[in-house]
Every structure is written in C-alpha cells, then in structure tokens.
Chains A and B, each alone.
Chain A
Amino acid sequence: MEKALKGDWVQIHQVVFSPGERAPNIPEETRKVPLELRVKGWLVIPEARIGEDAVIKTPAGRELEGRLVSINPPFTHGFGEPVPELLEIGPELRELLEEEGTE
C-alpha cells in the first residue's frame, strides 16, 4: 500500500454529516448521501497509508485530521475533447463576414 511521509503533499477526507444528520429541506437524493469534505495539505505525522487516519497542515497553517485519500493528488481536469459542433462555427462565421452585401 502506498505510503505518505511527513512533509508530503496529500489529500484527506472527512464525513461532515452522515445521511441521518443532514439538513432538513434538501432534495431526497442529497439527504441519502453523506456530506463529505476533501482538503489538501502537508502531512505532519511521520507516515500514513491510504485509508489511514492522517493529520495535515494546510496552506493557511491549520492542522486538520481525516482519512488519507491521495498522495500528491493530480489535477484531473483538462480541455476535454475537441467538439466538432463548435469547430464548424469559426469557418461559418468568417464566410458570412466575407460575403458581399449590406452591412
């Protein structure tokens, strides 16, 4: 199992509210699931494995506890795939602008 050492940049996870503790007046499907929190920081205990309890120091200097879920967590968002429906728009508009006629 992957292990993080003191000083590693990691992500921890907490359950803020279990399904039974959630606020009233929220949609049914939201009430059925827990309210979860994820936060990143530097591990301050000597070591922790994924799934174990960990303590981190956040960039704001706070110490927070939670279950270790990721070590050096990657950014997962990108530009996605080119969208053919959008690619057509540029040439169409340029052609329209080049047409003779009233303006």
Chain B
Amino acid sequence: MKDMSFAALMDRRNEIMKQAVGINYEEFARGRFAFAYEEMMQKVGYTLDEIRAIQRETDVGQTPLWEMKNLTRLVRKLAPAGKGARIFIKDEAANPSGSFKARRASVSVYRAKKQGYKGVVSATSGNYGAAVASQAVKRNMKCIVVQEVFDSKGDGQPEILEKGRKCEAYGAEVLQLTVGPELFYTFLRVLEETKFFNASLYTPFGIAGVETLGYEVATEIKEKEGRFPDKVLITHAGGGNLTGTARGLKKAGAEDTEIVGVSVDLTGLHSASDHDFNRKSFTTGHTGFGVPFTTWPDRADVPRNAARSLRYIDRYLTVTQGQVFYATEALAQIEGLERGPAGNTSLAAAIALAQEMDRDEILVVQETEYTGAGKHPTAQLTFAREKGIDVRRGDPHEEKPGENIIIPRGPGDLFYKEMDLDKLRKTYLKALQKNHPGPYSEEEKEFLTEELGVDQEKLEKLLNSN
C-alpha cells in the first residue's frame, strides 16, 4: 500500500502533477533557474482565436463594457479643474458562473476533455471553483473542488460558504477544509486517487483564457472611443488576472496602456493562521496573495506559474477594506449595478486615481463579480462585527486589518497607497540569490530582465543593492 503521510505524498508531488496537468515543464527549463516563458505560453497554450472559439462554445466572455457616467461626474466634482478621467467597467459578472474566472476555467476544462480526463479538480476558495464546476457541466465532466472554509470552531467565512454552495449548485463535490496550507496535501491525494485533471489557476491554459478579457477591453474601447484605454485597473491576487489581461491588451495592440494592479491591504494578517482567518473580510484580491505571488510566482501548485505579474505590472496600488465596501455601495446606489465586493477592489482605487487624470483620458476597471447571500457587504460586515471587528465611518487611513474597518466619510476620503515595485523586485532577487547565487550568465540575466520588467542597467542596480 502507498504511504499516504504528508511527507511521502509531498515527495510524489512532481509525479502526481505531471500526470494531472499533462505538461512536461522540464522541456522549457533553461539552466539553473531560467525557463522559456513565451515558448511555454505558445507551445502549451492556444492562440487568441482558438481561445475565443473555445470560449464561444461554452458561453464565456463577450461581456458588456459600461461607462460609469455618474461615477465619472462624481470624480469630476472632486477633481481639480480639467481633471477627472472617464471610468468604464467590464461587467464580468455576466459570465456563466458570475465572474471572469469562467474565462480561466474554460480553457482548462476544454483541455482536460480533449486529453481524455474524466474529471477536473480545483483547489480554490474563490470564484474559480464555481467557474470550473460550471464549465465542467458544459463539457459533461466530473468536478471536485477543494476549499479552505472553516476555522477550528467550524465557523465559515460567509463569502466562502456561498462559493461552496455555488459549486454544489453546479453538481460538484466540495471538500471543505479547516485553515492550513495542508490543503495542498488533500488536493494531491484527490488527484492521485481520481487521476482527474488539475484545473490549476496557474497553467498556461488558465492564463491564456484571461487574454480574451484584455483583448476585449482594448478593442471595445477602441471601437467606441477611437483610442485604447489610458489605464486598466486590475484586482490583483495570484497574478493571473493581471498577467492574462496585460497579454491580451498587448495582443490587441494597446502597448501604451498602463497596467495597474490593485489589492486590498491586509498587512499583518497571516493567511495560514487559525485565529486571523476569520478576521479578514476579503478572501481574495488582497496583499496576502498579491505580494508573495508577485515576488515569487512559482509558489503555485504547478512547477512553473504562467502568471508572472512583474513582467507586466506598471503600478501596484493598495486600498483598504472599508474603501472597497464604500465603492461597492456607490456602484449600487449611483450606477444601479449591485455587484460583489471583492471584484470592486480596483474600482475603489479608480475613484481616487481618475481624479489625477485628464478629462479626456479613459480608465477601465476590468471586472465585476456576482453578488448574493454571503458575498455582500452587509453579510461580510455583519460577520466582521460578530468577530469583534470595529466597523465605523471615519478616515480610512486609520484602518488596521483585523481590528477595524473604516467606511470613508465621503468619496473625497478615498485614496490609494503606491507599492514600491523596486522593493518587490528586490525581494524576488533576494530569494533567487539565496537559492542560486550569482554571478549570472548573459542568458540568466536576459531571463531576469524579462521576469522583472526592467532593462539590463536596472537589473544590475537591483542586484548590487541586495
């Protein structure tokens, strides 16, 4: 009988993953740590036209793009004369499972079916589970979703409970775990036992699926306004939304559009802590994923993460939980769009950022997500209050994650914090230098300039300052 201990299963992880993803990642390795990213994306992934065809088969994408006229008016009331960009929003909630994750799931499930797998497995507490489950229904496959849901008292985040319900609604088996990174153990075990496909968030298929979102944003704005958007704001966690959208924008020719990642600031809360788990009101789109995945993408469940945000990100902003709830309420109350809170993370930053832009500029918030029981500001703030979090109106600068949630006093209170990208690049290099000390070959340096989105000179500077 096979040894099923934690250590033994972890030792078999590469073997299990190879079976479950069907990609030979070694083919793309180039020396000690470098790898041929673009070659991997081209060889393993699909062309944009192929992806659009795959997504049309299962009703994914081609979501509406709306202009937020009242939000723009509001921004212009707050902004200095001549300032206040037009705000557009891509209503991704219109996808079959209610979020952009349907794009990401669609290509994975297509691939799994084509390769003869009987089912798909996904490790996620987020919208992605429902997306995989929904796409599995459309392609007549079995689906298992592994979620981190409860603390040790059996208390579940309302948002995650809802996502679990939605997976069940699509006929998935839902494995609901308590807090801990050993979720990966359960996940590996399921993959080994079922021989199903790992519908990882981080394969080239998953990321390629998001490229259509960036492509649609670019071409639709161009068609309506005769130009590409000036900035696209992207809620940022594991990096797939940002990477896929940015690649799609570039494929449409929008080379100069600024790529802005936005996360909810949850600094100080430990994502593997039984105690902290239910003291946060956002389960995704936050710095607890955004920062570690930006600085070390290969922490994912596949050997090479196809989501590599430092290659594409131009700016990385953070906002507070209270600001996102405010923006969510504003979207419902003055735009008539009731959408889920986590997807509005970049909207909160947009209200502040648009005030700095010229009136003839265009800013696009590239997603919304569905809302409902559990996934709603009232559900999440009620839960926060039950956990002893102080919810009040005030200056959002005073928000301390895990202690309070400050709802801004007015739209003028909305602000963002700018993350220092060079600091993140240095963190990336520090980890690399520890595992693979320099000096680096020319080929390695070329890989690193692409990885970090910098030129040779800048790379040398960053390497020397560490």
A36 touches B410 (CB 8 A): no
A39 touches B158 (CB 8 A): no
B178 touches A36 (CB 8 A): yes
A102 touches B77 (CB 8 A): yes
Query: If A77-B162, A85-B407 touch, does A37 touch B77 (CB 8 Å cutoff)?
Result: no
A97 touches B173 (CB 8 A): no
Within 8 A of A (CB), among B356-389: 373-374, 376-383
Stretch at the interface among B25-33, B237-245, B267-275, B291-299: B267-275
Within 8 A of B (CB), among A57-73: 58-62
A79 to B142, CA, bound (A): 31
Nearest-Cβ distance from residue B119 to partner chain A, whole angstroms:
6
Nearest residue, chain A, Cβ from B330? A93
Query: If A37-B177, A90-B329, A97-B334 touch, does A17 touch B171 (CB 8 Å cutoff)?
Result: no
Interface size, A (range): 35 or more
Nearest residue, chain A, Cβ from B273? A27
A89 to B326, CA, bound (A): 8
User: Which single member of A27, A29, A36, A76 contacts B161 (CB below 8 Å)?
Assistant: A76
A86 to B325, CA, bound (A): 8
Nearest-Cβ distance from residue A59 to partner chain B, whole angstroms:
5
B275 touches A29 (CB 8 A): yes
**Chain A residues, Cβ within 8 Å of B410:** 92, 96
User: Which single member of B144, B172, B270 contacts A27 (CB below 8 Å)?
Assistant: B270
A16 to B150, CA, bound (A): 14
- A22 at interface, CB cutoff 8 A: yes
B378 touches A39 (CB 8 A): no
B272 touches A27 (CB 8 A): yes
Give chain A's interface residues, CB within 8 Å of chain B: 16-17, 21-23, 26-27, 29-30, 32-41, 58-62, 75-83, 85-86, 88-90, 92-94, 96-97, 99, 101-103
- Having A30-B274, A101-B77, A103-B73, one finds 16 other A-B pairs with CB under 8 Å, namely A22-B180, A22-B182, A23-B185, A27-B270, A38-B149, A59-B172, A60-B143, A60-B172, A60-B173, A77-B373, A79-B379, A85-B391, A85-B393, A90-B333, A94-B334, A96-B411
